[in-house]
Amino acid sequence: MLSSGRKFAGSGFGVWPCRRTIIAAMAALVLLPIEISDAGWLSDVFKSSSKQGKSSKRVATPKPATLAKPAASPKRHTAKLAALGPAGLKPSALKPVAPKCDPSKFRIVLDVGHTAESGGAISARNVDEFVFNLRLAQRIEAQLKAEGFAETRLLLTEGKARSSLVKRVSATNNLPANLFLSIHHDSVPKSFLEDWEFEGKKSRFSDRFSGYSVFVSLNNPEFKTSLSFAELLGKEMKAQGLQYAQQYSQPIMGRYRHPLLNKETGVYSYDKLVVLRKSKMPAVLLEAGSIINRDEELKMDSAERRDIISGGVTAAVKEFCDPRWGILGPV
Ligand SMILES: [Zn+2]
């Protein structure tokens, strides 16, 4: 339980000393200054614009020189498996007629949303979204690796606002990955914010909405496969007892309104999101929960909730990698 927003705002990076080397190594590979012109609500920063598009052309392609190049990409096979979908899987599909996805070679990029310098949304208790994103992504990474997905990688980007998010995507495309999952925490449009005081500091909150949501882009070249994973992810989040955020399909959201693709799993389309539409591999963005909602912020700060979400993500990845997991039961 969160005792204080300041507590982990001040010591957030000190709690993973054993991972520092790994993070530093990864950061050295993919750290790229990014420009985010709008430090407001999270969704704004992912929208492409003509300005961003122009600046992106001046961005040099990053060189992941020290990353080992995989021998062969299982993407085609993965897409084929995923395209079957859990619902459409016939008994015959249980037969190992084709080599199944090998978790040890399946490359997953966990994109930590925002940066230390440009932290995204600010929680009801004045903690940057980036802090939540990093903690959750690290927990997911640990669980995926524990389940045999040894090629799981955190994608950390640094820098102040102003740089194009295309840089982040370039790093991802050059890794390269079989699956891209961007980790975020949700907020609300500014018009919904209310004032309150937390630890003597004027703060802002909105208890109006809560829940996770999953986004895909129709403009992603692997849209169908992205949607397959998104639906698995939404299904597993729901199976963990979580509820999705329903407000995005409502008129009250104005320009933040998005089509709800699956009313059971909470999968929305957000076609302009740069990290989704520019990624060459299947790409999904998870808003794990609301940190502007005062009650949900406390939950999102708990190790218990991180474990629950990590369990959902890991189950979805396993099922995506091998749909038979969906038949064989809980993972
Ligand atoms: Zn965000």
pLDDT digits over 34-75, tens only?
333 222 233 333 343 333 333 333 333 333 322 333 333 344
For ligand 1, the distance from its centroid to the CA atom of residue 42, given in whole angstroms, is 4
Does the pLDDT value for residue 13 go beyond 70?
no
For residue 161, name the pLDDT band (cuts at 50, 70, 90). low
Give 93-118 pLDDT, tens digit per residue: 444 333 468 999 999 999 999 999 99
Q: How much is the pLDDT for 175?
A: 81
User: Do residues 305 and 1 touch, judged by C-beta distance below 8 A?
Assistant: no
With contact defined as beta carbons under 8 Å apart, do 28 and 65 qualify?
Answer: no
Confidence of residue 270 (pLDDT cuts 50, 70, 90): very high
Residue 24 has pLDDT above 80, yes or no: no
In the predicted model, what is the mean pLDDT of residues 237-256? Answer: 96
Rg (CA), the chain: 19
61 CA → ligand 1 middle, Å: 24
- Residue 324's pLDDT band, with cuts at 50, 70 and 90, is confident
For residue 45, the CA-to-ligand 1 centroid distance in Å is 8
Strand pairing class (108-112; 153-155): parallel
Give pLDDT, residue 32: 41
User: What pLDDT does residue 51 have?
Assistant: 36
Taking the centre of ligand 1 as the mean of its atom positions, its distance from the CA of residue 282, in whole angstroms, is: 19
6-10, 17-21, 56-60, 237-241 — which is least confidently predicted? 6-10
In the sheet with 108-112, reading across from the earlier edge strand, the strands are: 153-155, 108-112, 179-186, 283-290, 213-216, 267-269, 260-262
pLDDT tens digits along 180-199: 999 999 999 999 999 999 99
101 CA → ligand 1 middle, Å: 30
**Rounded-to-integer distance, Cα 139 and Cα 145, Å:** 10
Highest average pLDDT, of 19-23, 28-32, 175-179, 295-299, comes from: 295-299
pLDDT at position 207 over 70: yes
* 91 within 8 A of 84, measured Cβ to Cβ: no
pLDDT at 325: 67
Distance 198 CA to ligand 1 centre (A): 22
